[in-house]
Structure 1
């Protein structure tokens, strides 16, 4: 469940992680026009660790950090992942709570349904929040639920999570069985509703077959390059190229799966983004951190939370190789509210052009969303 201290990230509620003071805004990238860029986290969240637990208003300090971050919009996961019963009801409840949180903080947050809302958020120095689901297990054979999700504000639908559902195999299924007949029908209905098809967490054959079936631009919103680290949560070059050829975008996450030791650096993030740019083109690379816009203070409480989090995922069979009881989903040197300014600096040092950086920060996602949503 969601409250002012909580953000749904990757389908899992993360709460109570304290944030440090924000670093100085000027990171030496004024020439990149960061403050004028639309900056979009294609899969992420935020939290406000300040103030009373039951306070509905985002604190002054929390709001200031969000504004100073320069983040224009963030894609929130609103569903409960997996094949357990009750996922639909829980997801509807999560959406209601998020709607209320946004309404209670209209000076800081804006509920986004269109790309015009992203531009309005940028103009008013607010954070646009838009909704997605990271599984179709909550839909199953009841495809009319996709229209209901759209009516509730959902704009992105991920076909599978890590395990098999009725639409296809997730990334951790050893059979790699691919897309089902229902999966084909589900994709057709997603596209009919002008929702964005997300193939993150899919098995290799599921992704390949879904891309072949897609008639509109898709996304792989949060992944890494399997050519750089052979982890099942990452995607091979062939599927990335096909996604790009269909007008889609690949978002790189800031997750342990980027590297064998599960502790990626900023240079690793840049390397994966550069690989996508080089094999897919500069119009098809983006951000999808699967993290929060705040600093993760790693204290005993945080360590206990992480142990429980990993144990739960392991028990459910959804923990991917590279996860661990002492592995935090962070890029340590960039782990604060200025994370995307750090990224822009890192891309600049890697000799990305200003225009390429602006595209990766958000322009590519904004284009894709407009193409698919029609607004």
Structure 2
């Protein structure tokens, strides 16, 4: 993989958009105050830096960790933040002053920039039109990220393969008696993923035994309580491989009652029927409506969305929920979860979650999560 070409191609699309919109420069800042996955998407640098992209295609990365940038980053220029006393505002003043832009030229910041940081930039960059707009270059990049290229698909498939392997090992451990508590499972995940080359979990692991599975996201994420004991247990977990996330949920049903079996059957039916609607060109709202119909006919209601995109963030566009625009469709290259679930304070919870790649002709399951009945 020629990463210089990969990241330059992405940045060139951004610069072309900026030129069309009359934006002279765009700032992408990743810090402890607010993480910005676009930084990694556009340069390969994983964290803590400021990226400046200009409409003529130039890119300047100002990393906090110079050594890490030398190893991982791809940009036209890499300038350590120490040159600017670790002050990004000072860096921007110096860098932008080197361009012969007209007074009042537009420079785009992310609309989620904190107000105090925005005020600081506005004060330092008096001669610039500082823009924080919802539908601007940063949103353009989010939309780019919603459609994965071949490298992103490859990384996600690797994350999913590691996750699938863990699921099989976990279920073998349940049957052998090796894994009996929420902690057993969650700590195994933490160790195994790193042994297999993944960076981290893609979110805090949620292992909820029968006493806690009624919650959509059990709090705390896991305890020393029993898991996979009699009743319904949920494991919601995933890993990041080269930054790209998997998102998996399995349900383990140990000697389920008749009423619990009804929940299991409903969720499985929703997963099977809704997958048929995860097709290129089909409306996202149709899949959401199908899940709602299946549950409503049984007098049940799903209290969360049907799915969401994954990538450098565990939750990113597109979102498969009632909030999705009516004309929004699935697009080849989308990687989206399909995660119907039901939760009952007395019976417990059931969720089944798989990651689905939308292809030119249909869809492909990247995970193979199941409802396990023991």
TM-score range, shorter chain: under 0.3
Flag the structure with more relative contact order, 1 or 2, with Cα contacts below 8 A and sequence separation at least 6: 1
Query: Which structure shows the higher helix fraction?
Result: 1
Normalization by structure 1: what TM-score?
0.26
Tell which structure's C-alpha radius of gyration is larger. 2
Query: Which structure shows the higher strand fraction?
Result: 2
